[in-house]
Amino acid sequence: MELCVALDLPTKQENLDLINKIKEYDVWLKVGLRSYIRDGEEFLKDIKKINPDFKIFLDLKLYDIPNTMADAAESIMGLGVDMFNVHASAGKRAMKEVMDRLSKYENRPIVLAVTALTSFNEAEFGEIYENSIAKKADQFAKDAYESGLDGVVCSAYESESIKNITDKEFMTLTPGIRPFGEDAGDQQRVADVAYAKNAHVDFIVVGRPIYKSDNPALIVEKILKKL
Ligand code: C5P
């Protein structure tokens, strides 16, 4: 299991300060919508300047018509990131087109599909998808697997079932991790590190418990010891 640190701070400088504090650790860094919209490709280069070994997960959750998604995926390919994601609800045709478009590249990034956002509770999810989170997450994962993606973004509670219906090697990346039972914030389906490990999660994403702490490096170290 690997740790992916979410860079969700309000300014580029605060994100860079956080990265500098944890630069000697073997972690992935997650660049999300806020940071990428504000700081762009330059920020990705700044990360690599601090430590070229940092792996970058570009969390833009693409959702559009198939051709637009494949075009975007190809542009992401040019950024040299190590992982990015799309929404499974964009459909199998869109996911297949993304993978087809990337197939001509030798070193394509890992591509994941978002199943159900971890901020949804059952009632909110049901209003949109008219199904339970567990059932729909399994279905989305199956769609992503059959479309040739490498894995899914899901909650730690769905990881085991998803691996059972797809493949043990099909990756799961789980946000909503509160490593040692910290405050959940807006997340609904939170799990701790031990739970994620038991569920054979491949990547845990941790944001606030690290960047809101007085000593982010210490929290990272404590989490890494538990992996
Ligand atoms: O601060 P926290 O640990 O809750 O951060 C979780 C991160 O994971 C945020 O950047 C959020 O956008 C992202 N994320 C999520 N749920 C998903 C996909 C991504 O919380 N399904």
At 185 the pLDDT is 87
At 23 the pLDDT is 97
**Which residue lies with its CA nearest to atom 11 of ligand 1?**
175
Q: Is the pTM of this model over 0.85?
A: yes
Atom of ligand 1 nearest to the CA of 190: 4
> Per residue in 134-164, pLDDT tens?
999 999 999 999 999 999 999 999 999 999 9
At 198 the pLDDT is 96
User: Ligand 1: which of 3, 33, 59, 189 to mutate, most ligand atoms within 8 Å of CB?
Assistant: 59
Cα of 146 vs centre of ligand 1, distance in Å, is: 25
Ligand 1 neighbourhood includes 35 CB (under 6 angstroms): no
Query: What distances in angstroms separate CA 22 from CA 79, 80, 216, 218, one per listed residue?
Result: 23, 21, 7, 9
Beta carbons of 81 and 32 less than 8 angstroms apart: no
Ligand 1 neighbourhood includes 6 CB (under 6 angstroms): yes
What are the contacts of 133-140 at 24+ separation with CB within 8 A?
Answer: 133/158, 133/189, 134/158, 134/161, 137/161, 137/162, 138/162, 138/165, 140/88, 140/89, 140/113, 140/114, 140/115, 140/116
Structural domains of the chain, ranges and CATH numbers in brackets: 2-226 (3.20.20.70)
Ligand 1 neighbourhood includes 216 CB (under 6 angstroms): no
At 186 the pLDDT is 84
At 181 the pLDDT is 83
Atom of ligand 1 nearest to the CA of 184: 4
Cα of 127 vs centre of ligand 1, distance in Å, is: 21
At 13 the pLDDT is 97
Ligand 1 neighbourhood includes 179 CB (under 6 angstroms): no
Whether 212 is a known active-site residue: answer no
Ligand 1 neighbourhood includes 187 CB (under 6 angstroms): yes
Give the chain's length: 227
**What is the C-alpha separation between 117 and 107, in angstroms, rounded?**
28
Query: What distances in angstroms separate CA 109 from CA 66, 79, 80, 131, 138, one per listed residue?
Result: 18, 10, 8, 31, 23
- For residue 149 the two structure tokens come to 């993606």
72, 28, 46, 19 alpha-carbon torsion, rounded to 10°: 140
**Reduced DSSP (H G I as helix, E B as strand, rest coil) percent helix, strand, coil of the chain, to 5:** 45, 20, 35
204-208-210 Cα angle (round to 5): 75
Among 61, 92, 212, 222, the active-site one is 61
Q: With a cut of 50, which residues of the chain have pLDDT below it?
A: none
> Per residue in 164-188, pLDDT tens?
999 999 999 999 999 988 888 888 8
Helix (H/G/I), strand (E/B), else coil: 63 = coil
Ligand 1 neighbourhood includes 112 CB (under 6 angstroms): no
